[in-house]
Chains A and B, each alone.
Chain A
Amino acid sequence: MRRRWIWAMVWGLVLLPWSYPAQGTTLKPLGMHQISIIGATSLIPLTKRFLPEWERRHPGVVVSVTAGGSWAGILAVAEGQADIGMADLAPLPKRALRLDSYPAGRLAVAFIANSDDGVKNLSRSQLVQVLQGRIHNWQTLGGHDKPVIVVSRPMSSGARAMLDRLVPAPGLSADAIIQLSNGAVLKTVRETPGAIGYVEWRPGMGGVTMLGIDHQVFDTSRLAAWPYYTQPTFYVAPGASSLVKQLAEMLSRSPYKAEFGIYRAQGIPR
Chain B
Amino acid sequence: MKPVTGRPRGDHLLYRVVWLGALLLLMLGFAIAAILVWGTVKFVIDHGLNPSLLGTIYQPTHDQFGLLPFIAGSLVVTMIAIVVALPLALSVAVTVIATLPRQMQMIRQILSGLVAIPSVVFGWWGLSLLVPSIRWISGRPGFSLLAGGLVLAIMILPTLSLLSINALDRVSVRWVEGSLALGATPDQTLGRLILSVSRIPLLEASILAVGRALGETMAVQMVIGGRVLLPHGLLSPGATLTTQLLTDISLLPPGIPGHYVLDFMALLLLVAMYGMVVLVERTRRWSL
Interface residues of A (CB under 8 A from B): 3, 6, 10, 14, 68-72, 75-76, 79, 149, 154-156, 174-180, 184, 187-188, 191-192, 194-195
Contact = CB atoms under 8 A, between A and B. Distances in A.
A93 B17 CA distance: 48
Contact of B227 (A3, A68, A175, A188): A175
Residue from A14, A70, A71 having most chain B Cβ neighbours under 10 A: A71
Contacts of A192: 135, 141-142
A194 B253 CA distance: 34
A174 B228 CA distance: 7
B256 interface: yes
Contact of A177 (B127, B227, B253): B227
Contacts of A154: 226, 247-248, 250-251
Contact of B20 (A10, A175, A187): A10
B240 to A, nearest CB: 13
A178 B247 contact: yes
B255 interface: yes
A6 B221 CA distance: 46
Nearest to B225: A177
16 contacts: A14-B20, A68-B250, A69-B251, A70-B250, A71-B251, A72-B249, A75-B256, A156-B248, A156-B250, A156-B251, A174-B229, A176-B227, A180-B221, A180-B247, A191-B132, A195-B141
A177 B251 contact: no
B256 A177 contact: no
Interface in B220-245: 221-222, 225-229, 237, 239
Given A10-B20, A14-B24, A68-B250, A178 B142 contact: no
B13 interface: yes
Nearest to B143: A177
A175 B69 CA distance: 12
A70 B249 CA distance: 11
A187 B131 CA distance: 12
A72 B226 contact: no
A191 B2 CA distance: 79
A43 B18 CA distance: 44
A75 B251 CA distance: 11
Contacts of A191: 131-132, 135
Interface of B: 9, 13, 17, 20, 24, 61, 127, 131-132, 135, 141-143, 221-222, 225-229, 237, 239, 246-253, 255-256
Nearest to A40: B250
Nearest to B239: A178
Nearest to B218: A180
Nearest to B17: A10
A53 B10 CA distance: 51
Contacts of B225: 177-178
Given A10-B20, A177-B225, 18 more contacts: A6-B13, A14-B24, A75-B256, A76-B253, A149-B141, A154-B248, A155-B61, A155-B248, A155-B251, A174-B228, A177-B141, A177-B227, A178-B225, A178-B239, A180-B226, A180-B247, A187-B127, A191-B131
A3 B15 CA distance: 13
B13 A3 contact: yes
A91 B55 CA distance: 30
A4 to B, nearest CB: 11
Contacts of A75: 253, 255-256
Contacts of B253: 68-69, 71-72, 75-76
Contacts of B143: 177, 188
